[in-house]
Structure 1
Amino acid sequence: NKLGVSGNLMSLGALDFGLIVDGAVIIVENSLRRLAERQHHEGRLLTLSERLAETREAAREMISPTVYGQAIILLVYAPLLTFTGVEGKTFSPMAITVMLALAGAFILSLTFIPAMIALLIRGKVAEKEVAAVRWTKSRYEPLLRKVVDRPLPVIVASIGIFLAAAVTFNFLGREFTPQLDEKDMAIQALRIPSTSLEQSLRMQRRIERQIATFPEVAFVYSKTGTAEVASDPMPPNAADSFVILKPKEEWPNKKETKAELIGRIENKLEGLTGNAYEFSQPIQMRFNELIAGVRGDVAIKVYGDDLEAMTRTAEEIAGVLRTVKGAADVKVEQTSGFPTLDVQLDRDAIGRFGLTVEEVADTLAVAMGGREAGLVFQGDRRFDVTVRLPDASRNDLDAVGALPVMLPERAGGGPRASVPLRDVAKFSYSEGLNQVSRENGKRRVVVQANVRGADLGSFVGEAQEKIGQQVTLPTGSWLVWGGQFENLKAAQARLGLVVPLCFLLIFGLLFMALGGVAPAAAVFSAIPLALAGGVFALALRGIPFSVSAAVGFIALSGVAVLNGLVMMTAIRQRLVTGLPLKDAIINGAMERLRPVMMTGLVASLGFVPMALASGTGAEVQRPLATVVIGGLITATALTLFVLPAICRFVLRKAERQQAAAPQI
């Protein structure tokens, strides 16, 4: 509450309990090991003071890797706080929640947890291992010895895995945020600009009746034109239909997807002539409109001065867009088509009749546009009364031409004569401008499209290539790409600046924890291989890269470094006792096998519900969880195999220094 973060899907969903207990797992595992060793050494049960002393020492042993590891995990979430706009509103609550939870868990793991172990574990402590751990150790030890004996092939293989992941990443799709399934549909119907409100309502009712025939539809309602309170202004020829669907369990074909249902509805509505449709979702439609001023996923804005040339260019772009895989609901902003009455005044005839241009124009304006003739009161409400020709007469050129234009009064008095309007003017109907949109002081025509069956990044990439090859812009015109793609580029640019800085700070913390560049680089190597696992997991599940997946990569790097830091600390502790490097690596790795496996499994299992969820909002969490689970698999493998192999090279200097030190 103090930080203004509400309890929502992202803030509460970020509480991965596996990640929160990682620090406690390391402390508990080390405390139990020390209690068992001390009890075995004393040959009796330990007193409370002895148990407290052992748990205190266990916490002290692990305080360095735990403090730096938790600091690194907190640090990797810092880039999320730099997000602005939509991505900031989405992911900043998550970062704040995780950082607060991790800070609280860290304090408890070094204070409350050791005290509880000493107070609650009173009986005989035996460091028993379950069958799964014994089996894992029996398989791990011979593999570890082979890795330590021949470290180079393992290091080369890990580099190959990272390069393969880099290639795979280039083939992943791109999107700003995963598209949420709102369980409902929004359909915009657009008619020609000359469509009246009454005609538009009749056409909209036919659309509603057709949609209501689908058994999957619970009900449908529409909004046509602009409401009295014009919070969402639309012309009379446009209408929004909101289609509320039944729960999936009530559908006749429960295996049918929403996209397939949209396809069937679209095919049926094509039989109703005079309408152009755009299919979206209620929130998504408003979301796109707020981001880029258009309702489609992608907007191509043509800027310039010559509106006719810009419109022709926009039509060419729309034609090219329709050939791109995934393009749907492609349409060009309606700049023309509005019915216009053109009047050409005959100034010679006006002069012969003794009239002025103003008098003729005033007669025409009263007949066509109307003139205020009084007021009508209804309670406290007041309405202007306007008099004009009926619609049938205003749309009839003969009736308009027969309008009388009063001549000037005669000098001798008598009734005033009149001449028909056709004697002093010529009339014709034409299609005029419907609207002229401007942005930043320049005329603009928008081509918009939705993306279905393809990811946003790939769609835009292919569209940009084709439009660049097939469309020639007129002189003085230029294109600007907008929509969700614009937000994706902005988020990528921000991450490209902040994430390298964050990684540099992580390396600095590792250097402070380990006291050297080589061991810090060895532990830091966990990050590339962890990222590789996340990339492979996205590719296997067919999930495009998005801001949500990027958040998963950020979270993953912290957990990967924590396990590597614990392993490196254990190996260096054994090296200090005088063990040869090979034995120190094997003993340290075997001792830390259990906590490394536990932290990896616990953190992964904490994300499994998010990865498999199918409820509302699961689309945002699924890429994040998939990245973390896949990355933890490769990160754990690196910690258990690649890191010991790297230690054979980076700790040689430490071994020589230890051997040269005087023995006491």
Structure 2
Amino acid sequence: MKRVYESPVFQMADADLKFSKPEARITINRDKANLMGISTQDIAQTLQYGLSGQRMGYFYMNGKQYEILAEINRQQRNKPADLRSIYLRNDEGTMVQLDNLISLEENVAPPQLYHYNRFLSATISTGLAKGRTIGEGLDEMDRIAREVLPDDFRTALAGDSKEFRESSSSLMFAFVLAIVLIYLILAAQFESFKDPLVIMLTVPLAIAGALVFMWGAGQTMNIFSQIGIIMLIGLVAKNGILIVEFANQKQEAGEPKMQAIRDAALQRLRPILMTSASTILGL
């Protein structure tokens, strides 16, 4: 958590695993207990009956039923050190003080343990600093986990972070699939593998232009910008189809290749600008 607090990417970090509950840990000296004729079961039962308030039975008085609860007087168990003064009987009937058989260690523990996928877990929640995106936050958290956590620890996402990571991977798959499908459809339409390749060469240029404008405007790569890039691919591919188709028609009419390309580009310039403007205004 210290590294998360120090990171400039996060603010107001918190974890649900808090060590705030006092705990007394008892360690039994088994060798000494055996020498004195006391088993570990006797010690455990004595502590259980004296501290747990367990119901031992019932008794009836004046027609009413009452529970019998085994518990040491509260004044005699207010402090962890009072456990040392408890006596129990060995197999010879002699009373032995518990202080001779145990070591007591005071500590703190979490008041509640949480589980995720059947493993003990701790959930870290944090807000993002101004100007930071959820993608940057996840990358920073992964970096801190790699540097701090040992190999036997595992991390997992939940809530909005999990949905963002899953949607990002799905969009990347959709992005690649869209390019492949567009190429195959164009290859079937033009009955050629060369013309679709010419059309698809405009896609990297369009993506580069989109990234430059995003950088200039201070925008980040998020789910909305990824959807916009996918739409841009479709728009650029449509414009390329029209230009290539018009150029092929002019070549079939007898025009030289370069002249046909220039005439097709000039003829389709205004419709392309109008389509792009209407799409931008519609968004």
With the length of structure 2 as denominator, give the TM-score of the two structures.
0.67
Distance 1:404 1:364 in 2: 10
Q: Which residue of 1 aligns with 2:9?
A: 326
Q: Which residue of 2 aligns with 1:154?
A: none
The residue matched to 2:156 in structure 1 has which SS?
Answer: strand
Given that 1:325 and 1:459 are in contact with CA atoms closer than 8 Å, whether structure 2 keeps it comes out as no
1:367 aligns with 2:43: no
| Superposed displacement of residue 368, structure 1 | 0.8
Q: Which of the numbers 202, 215, 230 marks the counterpart of 1:526? A: 202
Quick one: structure 1 residues 387 and 538, their matched pair in 2 at CA, closer, same or farther if it must change by over 3 Å? farther
The residue matched to 1:372 in structure 2 has which SS?
Answer: strand
| Superposed displacement of residue 404, structure 1 | 5.8
Distance 2:154 2:83 in 1: 45
1:317-466 superposed matches below 5 A: 318-328=1-11, 329=13, 331=15, 333-334=17-18, 338-342=22-26, 344=28, 347=33, 350-351=36-37, 358-373=41-56, 387-389=70-72, 393-397=76-80, 399-401=82-84, 403=86, 405=88, 419=95, 421-422=97-98, 425-426=101-102, 428-431=104-107, 434=110, 448=124, 450-453=126-129, 454-459=132-137, 461=139
Q: Deviations over 1:488-516 (max 9, x none)?
A: 66666665556434323311222232343
Q: How many residues are matched?
A: 267
| Superposed displacement of residue 573, structure 1 | 3.0
Distance 2:149 2:92 in 1: 61
Given that 1:349 and 1:423 are in contact with CA atoms closer than 8 Å, whether structure 2 keeps it comes out as no
Given that 1:347 and 1:357 are in contact with CA atoms closer than 8 Å, whether structure 2 keeps it comes out as yes
1:555 aligns with 2:241: no
Given that 1:333 and 1:447 are in contact with CA atoms closer than 8 Å, whether structure 2 keeps it comes out as yes
Given that 2:90 and 2:96 are in contact with CA atoms closer than 8 Å, whether structure 1 keeps it comes out as no
Distance 1:548 1:386 in 2: 64
| Superposed displacement of residue 397, structure 1 | 4.4
The residue matched to 1:339 in structure 2 has which SS?
Answer: strand
Distance 2:33 2:115 in 1: 36
Given that 2:114 and 2:121 are in contact with CA atoms closer than 8 Å, whether structure 1 keeps it comes out as yes
| Superposed displacement of residue 439, structure 1 | 7.5
Q: Which amino acid aligns with 1:551?
A: I
1:252-651 superposed matches below 5 A: 318-328=1-11, 329=13, 331=15, 333-334=17-18, 338-342=22-26, 344=28, 347=33, 350-351=36-37, 358-373=41-56, 387-389=70-72, 393-397=76-80, 399-401=82-84, 403=86, 405=88, 419=95, 421-422=97-98, 425-426=101-102, 428-431=104-107, 434=110, 448=124, 450-453=126-129, 454-459=132-137, 461=139, 473=150, 477-478=151-152, 480-483=154-157, 499-581=175-257, 584-585=260-261, 587-607=263-283
Q: Deviations over 1:589-626 (max 9, x none)?
A: 4443443233222222221xxxxxxxxxxxxxxxxxxx
| Superposed displacement of residue 554, structure 1 | 2.0
The residue matched to 1:522 in structure 2 has which SS?
Answer: helix
Q: Which amino acid aligns with 1:428?
A: L
Q: Which residue of 2 aligns with 1:219?
A: none
Query: Higher strand fraction: Structure 1 or Structure 2?
Result: 2
Given that 2:87 and 2:98 are in contact with CA atoms closer than 8 Å, whether structure 1 keeps it comes out as no
| Structure 2: gaps spanning 5 or more residues | 59-66
| Structure 1: gaps spanning 5 or more residues | 1-317, 376-383, 411-417, 608-664
Q: Deviations over 1:337-358 (max 9, x none)?
A: 650242646637854xxx7654
Distance 2:198 2:68 in 1: 84
Quick one: structure 1 residues 429 and 596, their matched pair in 2 at CA, closer, same or farther if it must change by over 3 Å? same
| Superposed displacement of residue 539, structure 1 | 2.4
Distance 2:98 2:266 in 1: 103
The residue matched to 1:342 in structure 2 has which SS?
Answer: strand
Given that 1:320 and 1:467 are in contact with CA atoms closer than 8 Å, whether structure 2 keeps it comes out as no
With the length of structure 1 as denominator, give the TM-score of the two structures.
0.33
The residue matched to 1:482 in structure 2 has which SS?
Answer: coil
| Superposed displacement of residue 459, structure 1 | 4.6
Quick one: structure 1 residues 395 and 549, their matched pair in 2 at CA, closer, same or farther if it must change by over 3 Å? farther
The residue matched to 2:219 in structure 1 has which SS?
Answer: coil
Distance 2:218 2:269 in 1: 32
Quick one: structure 1 residues 544 and 324, their matched pair in 2 at CA, closer, same or farther if it must change by over 3 Å? same
Given that 1:336 and 1:432 are in contact with CA atoms closer than 8 Å, whether structure 2 keeps it comes out as yes
Quick one: structure 1 residues 350 and 606, their matched pair in 2 at CA, closer, same or farther if it must change by over 3 Å? same
Distance 2:99 2:263 in 1: 109
Quick one: structure 1 residues 342 and 538, their matched pair in 2 at CA, closer, same or farther if it must change by over 3 Å? same
> What is the aligned-residue identity percentage?
18
RMSD: 4.5
| Superposed displacement of residue 405, structure 1 | 4.4
Distance 1:343 1:471 in 2: 31
Distance 2:260 2:231 in 1: 31
Q: Which residue of 1 aligns with 2:64?
A: none
Distance 2:81 2:138 in 1: 52
Q: Which amino acid aligns with 2:79?
A: D
